[in-house]
Amino acid sequence: MIHVLLTGGGSGGHAFPLIAVARALRAQYGEADTRLYYIGPKSPMMERERALFEAEGIEVTFVLAGKVRRYTSSQNFIDPFRTLWGIIQSLYFVLRIMPNVVFAKGGYGAVPVVIAAWLYRIPIMIHESDAVPGVANRILGKFARRIGIAYPSARKFFRERKTALVGVPVRKTILNGDPSRARKRFHLVEERPTVLVLGGSQGAHKINKALLEALKILATRTQVIHQTGERDYEYVVHEAARRGFKAGRDGYTPVAFLSPEEMGDALAVADIVVSRAGATAIAEIAAYGKATILIPLNISANDHQRMNAYEIAKEGGAIVLDETNIGRTMLSSTIFKVLDDEALRLKMEEKIIAFYHPLAADHIAQGLIEMAQK
């Protein structure tokens, strides 16, 4: 029997890669012989992820955690005490579990758990999804025996001998997309190119507004699947209707959230994707080799989305737009530019595939098992 403790989170984007690794662990070591646990930060965002972990049979526990900031904030005086109390809580919960190995996905929520595990001399692996590591992972790298990265540019921040390029784990259910099923699901026709707009799990208000402003122009030549995020869904549906587009008709289908199967279908049918530049989103787009316009979030932690976007663009795998400059004309003209230039589109598709590592979850799981058995 192997006991694996998963941790990470606080800022989103951690749950799906952790679940991908959990499934790979069970596939390699055996369902009956693998016990999985998650300890992470108690926050509204992570409360929403609890159901995802519990559906996978992963026992969930929350502890306090303070953010690791590099800017001035009154919370900087309080958060060290949150982290200290989180370490004390983690010492208790980790002792109760006493896992064979810990896998930390990053984020400030992993700090108390990793420190507690290190104090117990439990082997630790961390994973960095972004082109430039955040503060938390730079700290946690000192406690880890192995470090997995997704971008070569992250290597210089960690000790070479314990760092390996593995990519971002992608849920296998996303890889089974079907264009025919997608056309039925999203009310599409085969004759028109499809634009998929993704704002991340929480949506992206600025992208949503820009898309609505560009909708009449885009509708003259394309059809659109628009993942709005739950917070903006009603607003988007109302504004689209005001502009003459009823949801699910007129070549426009807004959805609040895409399940893994729906995401796979949407990516399979898309001719071009407009997306935020989170590491998980990029990995899923790269798995399908889609020409992509990336619009990084300007206020992302450590500016990681911008760094991710330009790392892809540097290789020719994407076009990057600033979210402060994506009005109706800029967004629609960039989409048409890619659709009209077949050579450009094919090059983008070819280059972005390099950022998908199909065996990422399997390699991480194999490494965790090796560490647990030593």
- Say whether both 80 and 144 belong to one domain: yes
In 3D space, the residue among 194, 160, 191 whose CA is nearest the CA of residue 266 turns out to be 194
Q: How far is CA 339 from CA 289, 332, 354, in A?
A: 15, 11, 21
Radius of gyration of the chain (CA): 21
CATH number of the domain bearing residue 96: 3.40.50.2000
- Say whether both 137 and 71 belong to one domain: yes
- Say whether both 227 and 344 belong to one domain: yes
- Say whether both 216 and 126 belong to one domain: no
- Say whether both 241 and 157 belong to one domain: no
* pLDDT at 50 (0 to 100): 85
- Say whether both 157 and 21 belong to one domain: yes
Domain that includes residue 325, residue range: 173-355
- Say whether both 279 and 146 belong to one domain: no
- Say whether both 122 and 177 belong to one domain: no
Buried b (16+ CB within 10 A) or exposed e, 49-84: beeebeeeebebbbbbbbbbeeeeeeeeeebeebbe
Which residue ranges in the chain fall short of pLDDT 50? none
- Say whether both 35 and 137 belong to one domain: yes
- Say whether both 182 and 314 belong to one domain: yes
- Say whether both 136 and 279 belong to one domain: no
The dihedral through the CA atoms of 106, 112, 113, 119 has a sign that is positive
* pLDDT at 334 (0 to 100): 97
Q: How many domains does the chain have?
A: 2
User: The pTM is what?
Assistant: 0.92
- Say whether both 155 and 182 belong to one domain: no
